[in-house]
Chains A and B, each alone.
Chain A
Amino acid sequence: MSNPVTQFQILSKDPEATARFYGQLFGWTIDANNALGYRRIDTGAKDGLQGGIWPAPPEAPNFVQLFIQVDDCAAHVAKAGALGAKVIVPPSRLPDGDELAILLDPNGLSFGVFKPH
């Protein structure tokens, strides 16, 4: 199975302001009507990635993560660990059935692996 980048995630200290800015700039629609209250971004385009906005902790900067689709989160987390990555959030099943994990690559860049429901 190939592993495409399927989502981007903006981590923002002010998620509402971020949603407002990009919504006004690009006409993106933001929908938080889901069990995590996750601000899902719909760019309205067929091309390109869709994404979302998550709150950044106060001690962290604003940043962007990429999520890579996998067929087995646990296996890819284990493989990433063997390659020198660190696990930030272990494989976790989200309320809507999707599964994700957050890792730091060996250079300290965070990314997510994601298995859709």
Chain B
Amino acid sequence: MKQHAFGRREPPTPDTSFRLRLQAELAERCARNPNYSLRALARDLDTDGSSLSQLLRGKRKLSGPAIERLGARLGLGSDAIARYVAGELRWAEEEAVADDELPNLASDAASVLSEWEHAALLELVHLDGFVPDSRWIARMLDVSVDTVNLALHRLLRLRMLEMASDGRWIDRCGDLRATSSELSPAMIAALASRLEAVIARSGSQGVRTVSITLSIPSSRAGELEARIARLSRELAELEAGAEPRDALYRVEVQLYPMLRAERAP
């Protein structure tokens, strides 16, 4: 499942989160060298691409020894490594793993992590009825062919997708998790217009909208995000099993703090 988590929480930064530090390192190296890739970073860190991919996406916890080993490969000093180990212990206590800020990624990598079409295209590749045709993909995702081709080009550049010599398109990325620091008005508008387009194309059948307004103690706001993260993991379980996967659904959960009541003096 490609996860996109939108939300705001107390922000980890590349100085406090070793995962964000790795993301920033990848971005910096990609910016310096168009040939660079996640696999290249894995090689430089003396680890495998799959493990690194999971670490970057928060799908695998970072242990203290792992931070020490990888930090040493990055050339970090002992103080910095200790700070990251302490930070990881703090973040590990919280269930939700939504990031507050994206690092300043190279533009290709940033687009892949922030624009849903990339993850959706990679997900389509896994469908049994996948057609390697940008026009088909555009119809499936209800976007323009140009949007598909821009995403395709980025994924090829980043080696996240391979167009193999036998005609297969191969997802080299595995699960992809994208986060956004805040739901900007432009993003809200984009999400709304996509939903409208889906309904216009196929009718409202299959579209479900659940909207609730909660009045809660502000001290429990973090629990909202934790429960959303738990829901994401439960939904991902639907992808397990041997049945052919011939349907693609997008589930979006949006969390808005509407107001915070002023405390009485």
User: A56: nearest residue on chain B (CB-CB)?
Assistant: B150
Structural contact, B34 and A88, CB atoms closer than 8 A: yes
Structural contact, B134 and A37, CB atoms closer than 8 A: yes
Structural contact, A36 and B149, CB atoms closer than 8 A: yes
Give chain A residues whose Cβ lies under 8 Å from the Cβ of B164: 93
* Interface window among B73-81, B151-159, B189-197, B255-263: B151-159
- CA of A32 to CA of B144 in the docked complex: distance in angstroms? 13
Those of B161-220 within 8 Å (CB) of chain A:
162-167
Is A109 at the interface (CB under 8 A from chain B)?
no
Those of B120-146 within 8 Å (CB) of chain A:
132-135, 138, 145-146
Structural contact, A89 and B157, CB atoms closer than 8 A: yes
Give A48 Cβ to nearest chain B Cβ, in Å: 25
Q: Which of B107, B132, B159 meets A35, CB within 8 Å?
A: B132
Is B13 at the interface (CB under 8 A from chain A)?
no
* With contact pairs A55-B149, A57-B154, A59-B107 given, residues A35 and B163 touching in the complex (Cβ less than 8 Å): no
Structural contact, B162 and A89, CB atoms closer than 8 A: no
Is B114 at the interface (CB under 8 A from chain A)?
no
Give B197 Cβ to nearest chain A Cβ, in Å: 18
Structural contact, B34 and A86, CB atoms closer than 8 A: yes
- CA of A90 to CA of B158 in the docked complex: distance in angstroms? 10
Structural contact, A88 and B163, CB atoms closer than 8 A: no
Interface size on A, residues (CB 8 A): 23
Is A61 at the interface (CB under 8 A from chain B)?
no
Is B54 at the interface (CB under 8 A from chain A)?
no
- CA of A92 to CA of B155 in the docked complex: distance in angstroms? 12
Give chain B residues whose Cβ lies under 8 Å from the Cβ of A86: 33-35
Is B111 at the interface (CB under 8 A from chain A)?
yes
* With contact pairs A57-B107, A57-B111, A89-B156 given, residues A37 and B149 touching in the complex (Cβ less than 8 Å): yes
Structural contact, B149 and A90, CB atoms closer than 8 A: no
* With contact pairs A37-B138, A57-B154 given, residues A93 and B149 touching in the complex (Cβ less than 8 Å): no
* With contact pairs A93-B163, A94-B163 given, residues A87 and B35 touching in the complex (Cβ less than 8 Å): yes
Structural contact, A88 and B157, CB atoms closer than 8 A: yes
Q: Which of B108, B153, B165 meets A93, CB within 8 Å?
A: B165
Is A104 at the interface (CB under 8 A from chain B)?
yes
Give chain B residues whose Cβ lies under 8 Å from the Cβ of A89: 153, 156-157
- CA of A59 to CA of B115 in the docked complex: distance in angstroms? 14
User: A101: nearest residue on chain B (CB-CB)?
Assistant: B156
Give chain A residues whose Cβ lies under 8 Å from the Cβ of B138: 37
Give B49 Cβ to nearest chain A Cβ, in Å: 15
- CA of A32 to CA of B133 in the docked complex: distance in angstroms? 12
19 sampled A-B residue pairs with Cβ under 8 A: A35-B134, A35-B135, A36-B145, A36-B149, A37-B145, A37-B148, A37-B149, A54-B153, A87-B35, A88-B157, A89-B153, A89-B156, A89-B157, A90-B156, A90-B162, A92-B156, A94-B163, A95-B133, A95-B167
Q: A-contacting residues of B (Cβ < 8 Å)?
A: 33-35, 107-108, 111, 132-135, 138, 145-146, 148-150, 153-154, 156-157, 159, 162-167
In the complex, given contacts A57-B107, A90-B162, A92-B162, what are 17 additional A-B residue pairs having Cβ atoms less than 8 angstroms apart?
Answer: A15-B146, A35-B132, A35-B134, A36-B133, A37-B135, A37-B146, A37-B148, A37-B149, A54-B149, A55-B150, A57-B150, A88-B34, A88-B35, A89-B153, A89-B157, A90-B159, A93-B166
